[in-house]
Amino acid sequence: MKLPRVLGLVLLILLARCGAQPIDCTLTKVAQMPMAPLDHLLVVPAGINGRWVRLVVDSGAERTTLSRTAAEQLGLPQDARYQSHSLGIGGQSVNADVRIDRLVLGGVRFPVDRLAVGQFDLRTSNGLKADGLLGADILLAFDMDIDARGGQLTLYRSRLCPEAAPPWQEPAVEITGVRARKDRLLLPFEVDEASGMAILDTGAGHNVIGLDMARRLGLDATTLANDSTIRQRGVGPGESVGYLHRFRQLRIGPVVQTAPLLPVNLSQAGIGDALIGEPFLRGRRVWMSFRNRQVFVSRRGDDS
């Protein structure tokens, strides 16, 4: 038998063996923690160096971040070798990281030895009391079950399983066409028949139309001049002004909202087309898998 033919047979055997290996879709729970809605945001407890803090569940934040006030109250030393550059609603900020000895979520210690610091205030008169953000660097490393109604956040081992489905029995719908960009999950959406990709941001208190989509819709400061405004805060130290504009329709996957009033942000805040946040997630159970590019949401009474 000629050598090339032998090699071909060997390759076929190896490929057959690889194809016979089952895909491991086993759900493995890593950590589960209580979660409370505070002023349109979801907040979980975390232990840092043996002391409790509150963190907003924020898939739109690139890194897990403490407010400067919280970092100082915890007495965390700065590490000038590492700096975080944050761009978002509220502007841009640059801050040195802080070193930590221990981060605990749901009774499980996570291998994190430093955190970012931000110049923001997560305490409001409407009941929000938080010390930082639980960001995408931790959240998107896992498959997530965000159960706002049940008051729990559960993290599962990330698994490559194209047939994966959320671990609950209630009716749910998959948002198809989900993409990933760097450390963001992007959902396809349409607003007034213009289509785009929106960042799924669990830390956004509003669904927000960004500059890129506004331009495609022909919206600018002149066309929005008669709309009322709203002040928005984010990772930066300042505020940003959003124009509250009435659209005809917002469609996110199969979910349609008629005549939504949405903030339009005309600044270069790193939003892209849009942010999809709390108004869409409210009253739903959400399954997010960055590795599988999957998002499922439980159905709500006002879904079409």
The per-residue DSSP string of 29-89 comes to EEEEEE-EEETTEEEEEEEETTEEEEEEE-TTSSS-EEEHHHHHHTTPPEEEEEEEEEEET
In a domain, 18, yes or no: no
Q: Are residues 129 and 248 in the same domain?
A: no
Q: Are residues 200 and 235 in the same domain?
A: yes
Q: Are residues 225 and 276 in the same domain?
A: yes
What local confidence, expressed as pLDDT, does residue 19 receive?
A: 53
In a domain, 71, yes or no: yes
> What is the spatial distance between Cα 193 and Cα 187, in angstroms, rounded to a whole number?
16
Query: Partners of 117 in the beta sheet?
Result: 66
In a domain, 85, yes or no: yes
Q: Are residues 71 and 113 in the same domain?
A: yes
Q: Are residues 86 and 117 in the same domain?
A: yes
In a domain, 23, yes or no: no
What local confidence, expressed as pLDDT, does residue 237 receive?
A: 55
Average pLDDT per run of 10 along the chain, which is 304 residues long? 48 50 81 94 96 96 94 92 61 79 97 93 87 95 93 94 85 92 91 95 93 95 94 60 94 89 88 91 91 90 66
What local confidence, expressed as pLDDT, does residue 290 receive?
A: 93
Into how many domains does the chain fold?
Answer: 2
Q: Are residues 59 and 87 in the same domain?
A: yes
Q: Are residues 121 and 215 in the same domain?
A: no
Q: Are residues 186 and 289 in the same domain?
A: yes
Q: Are residues 140 and 176 in the same domain?
A: no
In a domain, 13, yes or no: no
| Domain containing residue 33: CATH number | 2.40.70.10
Q: Look at the alpha carbons of 61, 65, 70, 72 in this order and tell me if their dihedral is positive or negative.
A: negative
Q: Which domain holds residue 59?
A: 29-157
In a domain, 1, yes or no: no
What local confidence, expressed as pLDDT, does residue 161 receive?
A: 85
Q: What's the whole-model pTM score? A: 0.84
Strands (E), 183-293: 184-191, 194-200, 208-209, 229-233, 239-246, 249-252, 255-258, 261-265, 274-276, 285-289
Q: Which one of 97, 131, 157 terminates a domain?
A: 157
What local confidence, expressed as pLDDT, does residue 87 receive?
A: 54
Q: Look at the alpha carbons of 276, 280, 281, 287 in this order and tell me if their dihedral is positive or negative.
A: negative
In a domain, 42, yes or no: yes
